[in-house]
Chains A and B, each alone.
Chain A
Amino acid sequence: MWRDSLLMAGKDLRIEARSRVALSQVAPFGVIALVLFAFALGPDQGPMAAGAPGLFWVAVLFSTVLAIQRSVSVESGDSARDGLRLSGLDPAGVFLGKTVAVAAQLVVLEVILGVGVVLLYGAHIVDYWLIVGSCLLGTVGLAASGTLYGVLSAGIRVRETLLPFLLLPVVAPVLLAGTRTWQAGLTGGTPADGLPWLRLLAVFDAVYVALGVVVYGPIQESA
């Protein structure tokens, strides 16, 4: 399973490295979202800094939808999905590999958006461990749940509109927990307030990774 997951993650990341869709389209989309939020809030940096945690995570969530769409569409052409099914790779390994590949892209995106939040919104990070911890745990949860919903919607013609509708309410806990942890990690927050939310993120990750390992195969077969 682990070897298959590394193979799968390597394959997806190689495709992204060559096509550069994530870097040239998904990341700029996230930055544009940050700029648009600033336009909506006005030029005063006070509301921007106060809303920075939530705006960061909303931008990450929207970008996640694009990253998952991309991860699914990589397998949709030239009967690649059938090829994957017939390849003999462990479905759990395929799930973990795709999750790792999406998570790696999201981490790069979050670094870009994090810098954007600090520069554009004037947010000041106090506790780096909380910020990094929430990003890593939130990313795993987003990637795992997104990969699951991605395979569930694979083969559906209206996937582009269906996937955000299905995924965004499901990842609402990540938005809540990530935002609260960031609030605790930025100026004015109390670092201890972030710890329960980190635990919630860890539970979300554990649930969706375990669920994906168990059910990815049957879903892949029926897609």
Chain B
Amino acid sequence: MSVQQQSPRAVWATRVIGLSALVGTVFTVWLGLWITPPDRTQGDLVRLVYIHPGVAWVALYVAFGLTFVASMLYLWPRTRSFFWDRLAASSVEVGVVFMVCTVVSGSIWGKPTWGVWWAWDARLTSTALLLVLSLGYLAIRRVPAEPAVRAKRCAFAALFVAVDVPIVHFSVVWWKTLHQGATVLNANLSPTIHGSMAWTLLLGFVSLTLVYVWMLLVRYRIAVLEDQLGSGELDVALAERRAEGTTPGPAPRPLAGADQTVEEVTA
């Protein structure tokens, strides 16, 4: 069973992106923890802002957006390819990691700010619901099926989730909201923070997006290898069955100890 090797250019690109993500993340942590000043009202708690919006951006917009687009491209007959299916599944899996980070970091920020770990804030709640919906997608993904059936099933599941997300979001926002208004992407598109804090926040967004891209590339490669392994195992099993039919089988082996007497065995 041969495993298709990754092209040297793809290996090089993955390494460069991984290294850039690592350097960017280290710089974000350094700037966020040591260089930038504490906030006038939030104090050191503001340092979480360099991570939390970045992971939320990746989880809610980049990862899920890519999953939706890739799923639609798989469902569209002209662009149907397992590339889109693997890309969608890989993006969901990486997105789930970022969603967990979003919910956990939001909860950590909420404890000193609101006084409770979970305040049923609208955005945290809708993110948690999207996390559960994404876990549902992954549960469907794990159900054994023909690759084409599984891909179509997952693409439809992604479509249903995408349709549900705006309704979930609005219903939860109407239900209750405590969350701080958008700091960077507000209605006027004018950031309400400045200086080193704004640059560190921007670096956090870029670094975390690079981390996502690197994880996506690695997860996609694993998905390709998994598919090759699955089809390879089937080829091996088929070849073995064919060989059984064309060549005389080996003579049946005598049972161990069959030629021994009872006395020899018990001795």
Contacts and interface: CB of A to CB of B under 8 A. Distances in A.
Interface stretch (B90-98, B132-140, B251-259): B132-140
A203 B174 CA distance: 15
Interface stretch (B2-10, B165-173, B190-198, B214-222): B165-173
B153 A165 contact: no
Interface string B95-139: 000000000000000000000000000000000010011011001
A205 to B, nearest CB: 11
B168 A207 contact: no
B171 A162 contact: no
A145 B167 CA distance: 13
B156 interface: yes
Interface string A104-132: 00000000000000000000000000000
Interface in A167-223: 169-170, 172-173, 176-177, 180, 196-197, 200, 203-204, 207-208, 211, 215, 218-219, 222-223
Contacts of A157: 143
Nearest to B148: A222
A61 to B, nearest CB: 14
B159 A222 contact: no
A148 B149 contact: no
Given A152-B157, A200-B170, A215-B156, A169 B143 contact: no
Contacts of A222: 148-149, 152-153
A158 interface: yes
B136 A211 contact: no
B136 A200 contact: no
**Interface range on chain B (Cβ under 8 Å from partner):** 20 to 34
Contacts of B159: 211, 215
Given A165-B136, A170-B164, A200-B167, A219 B156 contact: yes
B160 interface: yes
Contacts of B153: 152, 219, 222-223
B12 interface: no
Contacts of A169: 129, 132-133, 136, 168
Given A156-B143, A169-B132, A176 B152 contact: no
Interface residues of A, number: 31
Given A170-B164, A218-B152, A222-B153, A176 B139 contact: no
A197 B163 CA distance: 18
Contacts of B149: 222-223
B162 to A, nearest CB: 10
Nearest to A214: B159
B174 A196 contact: yes
A41 interface: no
B34 interface: no
A210 B174 CA distance: 24
Nearest to B169: A173
A166 interface: yes
A149 interface: yes
Nearest to A207: B163
B112 to A, nearest CB: 28
Interface in B169-223: 170-172, 174-175
Given A170-B164, A200-B174, 17 more contacts: A152-B160, A153-B140, A157-B143, A158-B143, A162-B139, A166-B139, A166-B140, A169-B132, A172-B172, A176-B172, A196-B174, A200-B170, A200-B171, A211-B163, A215-B159, A222-B148, A222-B149
